[in-house]
Amino acid sequence: MKKKPGFVLAIIPIVALLLLLGIGYGLFHLRAEPLLIIAATIAAVIGKSLGVSWEEMQNGIVETTAKSMSAILILITVGVLIGTWMVAGTIPMMIFYGIKLIDPNYLLVTAFFVAAIVSTFTGTSWGSAGTIGVAVMGIALVQGVSLPMTAGAVVAGAYFGDKLSPLSDTTNLAPAAAGSKLYEHIKHMLYTTIPAAIIGLIVYFIAGKMMTITSGDNQEALNEMTSTLVAMYDWNLLLIVPILIVLAGSILKYPTIPVMLASSTIAIILGVTFQGVSIANAFLSTVSGFDVSMMSGTVDAAKVPEDVSNLLNRGGMTSMMGTTLIAFCSFAFAGIISKIGCLDVVLEKVNEKAQSTGSLILATVLSCITIAITTGSSYLSILIPGELFRNVYAERGLHPKNLSRTLEDSGTVVVPIVPWSLAGVYMSSTLGVPVIEFLPWAVMCYVGFIFAIIYGYTGFSIERIKPSAEVDSSKDDFQYKF
C-alpha cells in the first residue's frame, strides 16, 4: 500500500539535494549531474519505502520531462540560431557597432536595457540572452568590463522583459494558474518589477562609474577586434533581417521554434551570399556551431587573435547538449519527488503556518523558491504553488492577481539564478559566466520577491475582494501555451 510521507521524511530528499548541490557543486565545484542523480536515488529509496513502485516513479520522470520538452526544443533551436547568426555576421555586426558606440562605463546599464527591450518584444528571455546578450558579452570582453557584472545585467534585463511581455509563456501561465487575467496581472506586476529594476539600474550605474575604465585602457585590443571583424565580414544592412524576423514573429504571435528556424535559414543565405561561407560550412554551423575557419576565404584563420576566436566560435545544437543533460538529471529528481508526494506535504505544512496576509505571501514566495531549487523548472514553480494557494487567497479575500504576481516574482525570475536549473545552466553556458558569479548582479531576479513580501505585510498594492469569492478564470483573456 502506498503511504503518504510524514513531514520529516518528505524534507529528507529536499535537504539532501540542497546539501549535495550547495556543498558539492557550490563549494567543491563538482559536476551537477551526478549530484542530481544521487539526490534522485535518495528520493527513490524513500519512495520505495512508502510503497511507490519504480514504474510509478519512472512515469513521474516521463511526465516531468514531457512538461518541459518545449523548453528543451527551444534551447536546441537557440543553439542553431546563434551559430547561423555568427555565420551571417548578425551578432558580429552588433558587437562591432557596440564597441564603437557604447561607453564602457555605461555598458552595464545598456546591457540591461537592450536585453529588456528585446525580451519584451519577443517574449523570450532565452532568445534575448542568446542573441543580443552574446553580443553584449563580446563588447564587455573587449572593453575590459567585468563579465559577471555584464552577464548579471543581461539576465536581469532579459527576465524583466520576459516577466512583463504578454507574449511570454510564463506571463500567460501565472494568471492561468492563479485565476486572474493577463493584462491585470501584468499591470499589477509593475508595483514590484519597476522598483526592482530601478534598484538594479542604480547598482549598474554606480558599478559602471566605479570601474577604472578609460577609452585608452584597451585601445589596442579594441583596434585588433574591430579590424579583425572588418576583415572577416562584409557589413550590410540586410544582416539585421534575421533579427527582424524574430521580432516580427513574436509580435504576430507565431510559434517560437518555426520563427527561429526561419531566421536561421535566412542567416544561412546571408552567410553564403555576403560572407563567402560555403553551403556545407553554413549547415555545419547549425550542428557544431561557428568556427572562424569557415571564413578562410576572407581571412587566415590561423592569424585570428585567440580572443576573437573565443568570442565567435560558439552556437550549434551540440553546444546545448550539456545543458540538456543537466535538465534530464533534474527531471529525474523532480519526477520522483512529485510521485512520492514530498512537495505536497511540505507545501501543506507551509500553508498551515500562514495566518496573516503577509505570512501567506511569504509562504507563497518560499514555496515557489523551494520548487525552483528542487525542480529547476519555472513552469512547476508557478503551477504547483498556484494550485495550492489559489483557493486560500480567495477564502481570505485576496484578489487572484496578488497570487499571480507573487508566482512570477518568486518563480519565473528566481529560476535563472538557480545554478542547476535549466534556465541557469542555459544562461551560464550561453553567456560564458557561472551562475554563482553573475547571481549577485542579476539584481532584479531577487529584489522583486522582497518587495512582494514587504507589500504583503504593509498592505501596499494588495487588492482585496469579497472573502470566499469563487475564482473563475473561464473568461480570462490569457493565451496559455507551453
Q: Residue 474's pLDDT is what?
A: 40
Alpha carbons 337 and 408: distance in angstroms, whole number: 23
pLDDT score of 297? 61
What does the DSSP assignment read for 377-397?
-HHHHHHHHHHHHHHHHHHTT
> pLDDT per residue over 294-312, tens digit each?
876 666 666 777 777 877 8
CA distance 177 to 405: 11
> Residue 343 has what pLDDT?
76
Where do we find the cell 554551423?
A: 285
The reported pLDDT for the residue numbered 404 is: 92
Tens of pLDDT, residues 26-79: 678 788 789 889 989 999 999 999 999 999 999 999 988 887 787 788 778 888
Number of H helices, E strands in the chain: 23, 0
The burial of 472, by beta-carbon neighbours within 10 Å (0-12 exposed, 13-18 middle, 19 or more buried), is given as exposed
Q: What interhelical angle do 32-49 and 7-19 show, nearest 10?
A: 170
* Chain-centre distance for alpha carbon 474: 29
Rounded to whole angstroms, the Cα distance separating 47 from 336 reads 8
Q: What was the pLDDT predicted at 301?
A: 66
Q: CB 221: neighbour CB atoms within 10 A?
A: 17
Please give the C-alpha separations between residue 464 and each of 358, 372, 390, 456, in angstroms, as whole numbers: 13, 28, 14, 12
The backbone region for 376, taken as left when phi is positive above 0, alpha when psi lies in -120 to 50, beta otherwise, is left
> Model pTM?
0.77
Report residue 352 CA to chain centroid gap.
Answer: 31
Q: Tens of pLDDT along the chain (482 residues)? A: 678 888 889 889 888 888 887 788 767 878 878 988 998 999 999 999 999 999 999 999 998 888 778 778 877 888 898 899 999 999 888 888 887 888 888 999 999 999 998 888 777 788 788 878 888 988 888 888 899 999 999 999 999 988 888 767 788 878 887 888 888 999 999 999 999 999 999 999 999 888 765 444 566 767 777 888 888 899 889 999 998 998 888 778 788 789 889 999 999 999 999 998 999 999 999 999 888 888 766 666 667 777 778 778 888 898 888 778 877 887 888 889 888 888 778 777 777 777 788 999 998 998 889 888 877 778 778 877 887 788 788 888 899 999 999 999 998 899 999 988 888 988 998 898 999 999 999 999 999 999 999 999 999 999 888 775 444 444 443 332 32
Report how far residue 123's alpha carbon sits from residue 158's, in angstroms, rounded to the nearest whole number: 9
